[in-house]
Structures are given as structure tokens and as C-alpha cells.
Amino acid sequence: MLKRNVPLLITGLIGVFLIVANFFPSLSAMSEDFTVFFGIIAAMAFVLGGGSLLKVHLKKISDRNAGWAYSLIVLGTFAITLAVGLLKIGVPPNPGFPDKPWSGSVNADGTAFEWIYEYALKPLSATMFAMLAFYIASAAFRAFRAKNIEAILLLGTAFIILLGRTFAGYYLTGWIPIDGPFSGLRIEELSVYIMQVFNTAGSRAIIIGIALGIASTSLKILMGLDRSYLGGGN
Amino acid sequence: MSRQAIGLIVVLLLFVGLLVVRAGIGKGMGRVYSERESVAMVQVEIPILDVVEGEAKGTVGTESVWVPAASDDAVDFASADSPRVEWETTTPIKPGTYFQDPSNAAFELDWPRTIGIWVAALFTLAIFSFLYKDNAIYKIAESVVVGVSAGYAMVIGFWDMLVPNLLGKLVPMFVQTHFIPGMTDTSVNWLYIIPAVFGILLLMRLAPKGQWLSLWALAFIVGTTAAIRMVGYIEGDFLSQINATVMPIYQVVEGANGSVDVYSTIWASIRQFILLIGVLACLTYFFFSVEHKGVVGGVARVGIWFLMITFGAAFGFTVMGRIALLAARFEFLFDDWLWLIDPTNQRTIPDAVAVLGM
């Protein structure tokens, strides 16, 4: 009862209330409160994530599993970031309230927390994403084969879009007069046309499909037909 | 020692050697300069003027405010006993500004930011080392990402969400006194006990007993997400996309003089027609309740072509995005760290730029 029915009841009631609130302006303020509640619980979920991180890595270290030293680095950097941020180390007070030492923004320029973001998190995550350029190129080289009309369309479009955003593309079709009747054949123009027409058409259909999928899945959850989030396999 | 290890050591030594050589050429590399500024604030009692019809008739009391120590208000109203707070800030300046006037006492080498540039450069290279193969340096950088990003998310969640939206509603006076002095609404909102309780229930997942209680909080999150997403996607995506598609095929484009531009009108109409056909064909392809045979099969095939073009465009865009990120990382290494390029005239002495007309 408490483990299965109460969660189903909470999901259903909250969901129905938030949907109904859209039709009653007097409930909209309460609906906004619930959206904030969601944000608060999501922020508390970060604490759960941190606790889980500690649990996993402390076990790895205590068991001396392979790569335990990396777990030490994970926990060390986690603890430093947390301490620097929560204690607002090096954060000057808000100029409007200089007698309140905790009033400054943790993200302010020149703070230790901003240093961690600017010189550790940002370069590391940006470089990780940048590296995907090599792997996408490599995967494309291996996998792309113009075997049929669909593959030719995909390959050709990707090629035009890539060229359309480089100087090579401009030079390649730069001889076509920009104000003439065939200006649409210039690579950069073609690239824009593909994005505005063909890509928009495909994206719209995909977005409509996603919206319908989300609406039906949400309804299934709210009506208690989909209980997978409760675990137990049904 | 294996040949591979020897090779790695040689590459590393070569790299360090090149860095040393680079550091010794010209103005060096990888430094950040800042301008140090002292901020002094003083608390003063400023009279509140009694203004009648735009004219000051006297005062109706005083208000306590913090003003910059060098301001006119401070000169007029501050005394030796007035509370005073001072701290220092550093603002990064272009190295060129420092090179122009190195004797300026306010300019100095900013050690924290200089160390930061070096740390960021070494982290960047550590991640790039994965292109060779998975190695210890990459794994160290990867562990730092995990630790720092988890800590970062928790800190932002605490200061930006929990303090103003949870503590600010349940213990507003405490939050106003210590963290957000500018907070105006200091009334307690007991409704916010709900997320506090659910949040604590969520943490029960880490407890040895009663983990099932976290399902209640999860149910709240799932219910809220499902309802908000359902309404949001129906309104924002489903209806708006249909609304944008169901438009007149004949699109009139007017020229600068107000007359119909025939050429542009034809192209705009063709564009709208292709758009409509494309959306309908793609939707037909997604409609699996009817077997894709005959006319439906043909239309669905046209839909596949449109989808292939969409995926190709998405692929091209993704590749370009990643390449732009890669270029930004190289720019950081060669410009901010190694000082080998200077596209934004960071290290050019301003006077020389003006003389050369750069």
C-alpha cells in the first residue's frame, strides 16, 4: 500500500492538479509554486547524487579496486569544489551590503569558485566535446557510403551544410553572380535554403511526433498505466 | 623500460624543452595581468528630504545606507566612527596595457589567473592525449571532470535554488540577515514545507532502511514533470508547429515600392509548398497504423528523403559545432597560453596599434 499505491496517488493527484490549473487562472500561482517545488527537489537530488558518488568511490577506495587512485582524485576535487563553493571562499560582499560577508555572489569574477569553473570545468568539458570532432569525422569516413538514394541525400546535405559554413564553399561557387537568377545555387545560399525548407519540414514532423509521444507517455504515467518509475518490472 | 615508455618520455621531454624555449623568446608566454583596485564602503545616515510639489521643505528623518568612501555622500555625512568595510578586487587587463606602463603600481602579475591558464592548458592537453590512446593522464583529467562537475552542480543548486526558494520561504529573516539582504518578501510561506519534506524523503535512498520512502519524492518529480511536459509540448511544440505549417501556399512578397515582387513571390510560394509536402510526407512515414504500400508507401518514401536531408543537415551542423569548439581550444592554447598568435591584439602595445593603424 505505502510502497506502491501512495506514490501512484501522489503522481496522479499532482499531475491532474497541474493540468487542471492551466484552465483556472486562480490556480496559476499555485501551479507556479509547484514548478518551484520541482526545482527544489531536483536541487536536493544533487545532494543524493553527491552522496551516491561518495558511496561508490569510498567503497572502491576501501576495497582497493583497480583504479582506486582515480576515485581519490574524484573525491578530492569534489570535496574542494564543494568546500570552496559552499563556504564562498574569496567571495567579496555585495557592494550594496558590505557588512554582510555572505551576501556576495558565489560566481562573481575573481572568486575561487569562478576560478574552478573558468580554469578546470570549462576547459575540460569544452575539450571533451571538441574531441568529438575527430571521432565524428572518423566514424563518418568509415560508415558513410553513397549506396542508395537515401544515403546520397544524407551525405550530400551534410557536405553542402559543411561547405556552406567554410571559406572553401564561398570560393567554390563565388563565380555565380550574387544578384543573378542562379544566385540560389551558391553553396552558402543552398545551405540556407536546405536549412529553411527541407530541414524545417523534417524537424517539424519529428517535433510533432515527439510532442505526441510525450503527451501519451505522460498520460500513461498520470493514469497509473506506466509504473516503471516505481521499479519492480511492471 | 619498454620502447613505448621511452618514446613517451622523449616526447614529453621534447614538449617541455619547446615550452622552455618558447618562454625565453620575446615577452614570454602564459601570463595574466590585472589591475588591483581597492573598494571602500562607508555607512552613513542620509537625511530623507520632505519634498512637497518638487521642492524640499526640510527632512523627515534619516536612512542608513552604504556608499563608496570617495563619494560626495561619504564626504558630507561620514564621520570617523562610521562603519567602514574595505576589500580589494582585481580586474584582468590586456598584457599590452601592462607592457605599455609596467611601472604602474596598480598593474601586477595575477598569479591565481596565471596559474589558472597553465592548469587549463595542461587539462586541455591531458584530454587531447586520449586521441593517442586511453592513458593515465587522461584518466586523471576525467576524474577531475567528474568530481568538479558534481561539486559545481551541488553548489549552484544550493545557492541558486535552495537558499532563495526553500530557506528564503521557510526562514526568510535568517536568509535576509545573512545571505540575501536585498530580499523584500520576508513572510513565511508554510506551503514550502512540502518540497522540504519530499526532498528529505528523496535522501532516504541513501539510508540503510526505509529506502522505499524515496519513491514518494520520485512520484512527486514524475507527476510534476509529466504534467508540465505534457502541457508544454502540446502548447509549445505540437500546436505551434501545426500552426506554422498550415499557412497559405501562395505567399505574397512585396518589394520596396509596395508592389508585388513576382520573382520573390514565386520562390516563397514554392518554398511553402515544399515545406507543407515535406511535413505531410514525414508524418505519413511516422504513421505506422497503415501499411506503407501503394500511395501511402510512395508518400512515406518521400518522407524518408526529407528525413535523410534533415539528418544530413543535423550531422553537418553537429560537425561544424564540434569543429568550432576545437578551434576555440586551439585558439586558447596558441593565443592565451603560448602567445604565438594574437588575433585580438591582446599583447600589442596600444600606442603602437594606434600608430600603425591596426
Task: Tell me how far apart the alpha carbons of residues A178 and A176 are, in angstroms, rounded to a whole number.
Answer: 6
Nearest to B329 among A33, A126, A210 (CB): A126
Task: State whether B224 and A45 contact (CB < 8 Å).
Answer: no
> How many CB atoms sit inside 10 A of residue A129's CB?
14
> To the nearest whole angstrom, how far is the Cα of A3 from the nearest Cα of chain B?
6
What sections of chain A are H helices per DSSP? 5-21, 28-62, 68-86, 112-116, 122-143, 149-164, 167-172, 187-193, 200-222
The least confident of A110-119, A174-183, B55-64 is B55-64
Domain chopping of chain A, boundaries: 144-228
Task: Tell me how far apart the alpha carbons of residues B67 and B52 are, in angstroms, rounded to a whole number.
Answer: 26
Beta bridge partners of B46: B63
Crossing angle between the packed helical segments B136-156 and A122-143, to the nearest 10 degrees: 120
Nearest to A113 among B155, B275, B279 (CB): B155
Whether the per-residue pLDDT at A82 is higher than 60: the answer is yes
The least confident of A122-131, A176-185, B48-57, B333-342 is B48-57
pLDDT in tens, B304-355: 999 999 999 999 998 888 899 999 999 999 999 999 999 888 888 765 544 4
Task: Tell me how far apart the alpha carbons of residues B45 and A190 are, in angstroms, rounded to a whole number.
Answer: 67
Q: Give residue B351's pLDDT.
A: 56
Task: Tell me how far apart the alpha carbons of residues B77 and B45 are, in angstroms, rounded to a whole number.
Answer: 7
Q: Give residue A26's pLDDT.
A: 86
Burial of B181 (0-12, 13-18, 19+ CB in 10 A): middle
Q: Give residue A214's pLDDT.
A: 95
Q: Is residue A94 a contact partner of residue B87, using CB atoms and an 8 Å limit? A: no
pLDDT in tens, A12-27: 999 999 999 988 888 8
Query: Which of B222, B276, B326 to probe the A interface (max A CBs under 10 A)?
Result: B222
> To the nearest whole angstrom, how far is the Cα of A171 from the nearest Cα of chain B?
18
Burial of B171 (0-12, 13-18, 19+ CB in 10 A): middle
pLDDT in tens, A148-166: 999 999 999 999 998 988 8
pLDDT in tens, B151-206: 999 999 999 999 999 999 999 999 999 999 888 888 999 999 999 999 999 999 88
Whether the per-residue pLDDT at B358 is higher than 80: the answer is no
Q: For the stretch B118-151, what's the b/e string if a residue is b when 16 or more beta carbons lie within 10 angstroms of its beta carbon?
A: ebbbebbbbbbbbeeeeeebbbebbbbbbbbbbb
Whether the per-residue pLDDT at B142 is higher than 90: the answer is yes
ipTM of the complex: 0.87
Whether the per-residue pLDDT at B357 is higher than 50: the answer is no
Task: State whether B155 and A85 contact (CB < 8 Å).
Answer: yes
Strands (E), chain B: 33-52, 55-68, 84-93, 107-109
Q: Give residue B350's pLDDT.
A: 64
A110: nearest Cα among B110, B154, B107: B110
Task: Tell me how far apart the alpha carbons of residues B183 and B349 are, in angstroms, rounded to a whole number.
Answer: 45
Cβ contacts (< 8 Å) between B233 and chain A: which residues? 210-211, 214-215
Q: Give residue A37's pLDDT.
A: 92
Task: Tell me how far apart the alpha carbons of residues A93 and A81 are, in angstroms, rounded to a whole number.
Answer: 20
Task: Tell me how far apart the alpha carbons of residues B204 and A102 are, in angstroms, rounded to a whole number.
Answer: 30
Cβ contacts (< 8 Å) between B157 and chain A: which residues? 42-44, 46-47
